[in-house]
Amino acid sequence: MLPTVDSKFEKFDVEAFKSNAVRGTYFIMTNVCTLRQDKQSKGYLQGEYINSSFFKLNKFFYSDGNIESKGLLFNEGSQVGIWYYFDESGKLVKEENTDEGYGFTPEKVVGYCEKNKIELPKGYHESGFYTQVRKEILNGKKVWVIKYLIPGGDIQRVVLDGQTGKELEKKVVPFVSS
């Protein structure tokens, strides 16, 4: 279910980006995924949205194109799994398990959503509100917070215990457009 991420060095093609980007963004679309590349203040970001996955792979690059960090996130949400961090020369300097302290895994969150008919976004979406899955700390406890649209235009907010997946809270909150 989770796309594969490895600790290998990668290089961003800065020249190809510069020649193809429009207003600091470049899309590459295939039958399998959409790559969204963006210029950022300290370098570049490449988001890989796999059409069949609830997760995306983000890769951050230094301004010279060397990899800075990479790892997975829910399409609309928090980091999951192992994230890899590199120094400016491309040497791996840190691995961080973002799921530490969460016995209720990202895969189990997906299972909870499927069981409760909560639609999770797959692949890339141009705009709009899509179900969000975030890790938070609530009263000193690690939790999953799921927010999704319900009929009538409001948002259902569900808080799950990060260890057990037990529903701790479920309430309707108004949708506020930004």
What's the average model confidence in pLDDT over 116-121? 95
Mean pLDDT value across the chain: 95
Flag whether pLDDT at 178 surpasses 70: no
> Mean pLDDT over residues 25-47, rounded?
95
142: buried, middle or exposed (CB in 10 Å: 19+, 13-18, 0-12)? middle
Where does the chain have alpha helices with state H?
Answer: 14-20, 106-115
Torsion sign (Cα): 120, 127, 27, 84:
negative
> What is each CA distance from 173 to 43, 47, 63, 91, in whole angstroms?
37, 30, 41, 45
154 φ/ψ angles, rounded to the nearest 5 degrees: -90, 180
pLDDT at 153 over 90: no
**What pLDDT is attached to residue 126?**
83
Alpha-carbon distance of 102 to 77, in angstroms, equals 15
Q: Is the pLDDT of residue 40 over 90?
A: yes
> pTM here?
0.91
What residue type is 156 in one-letter code? Answer: Q
How many Cα atoms sit within 13 Å of 93 on the Cβ side?
A: 10
How far, in Å, CA of 71 to CA of 77, rounded?
13
Q: Which tens digits make up the pLDDT trace of 9-23?
A: 999 999 999 999 999
Show the tokens assigned to 35.
Answer: 């790559």
Q: Which two tokens stand for residue 148?
A: 């999704």
**Cβ 122 vs Cβ 51: under 8 Å:** yes
pLDDT level of residue 127 (50, 70, 90 thresholds): confident
Q: What percent of the chain has pLDDT over 90?
A: 89
Residue 112 backbone class (left: φ over 0; alpha: ψ -120 to 50; beta: rest):
alpha
Distance CA 81, CA 73 (A): 8
Q: Is residue 74 scored above 70 in pLDDT?
A: yes
pLDDT at 162 over 90: yes
- pLDDT tens for residues 140-149? 999 999 999 9
The residue type at 135:
K
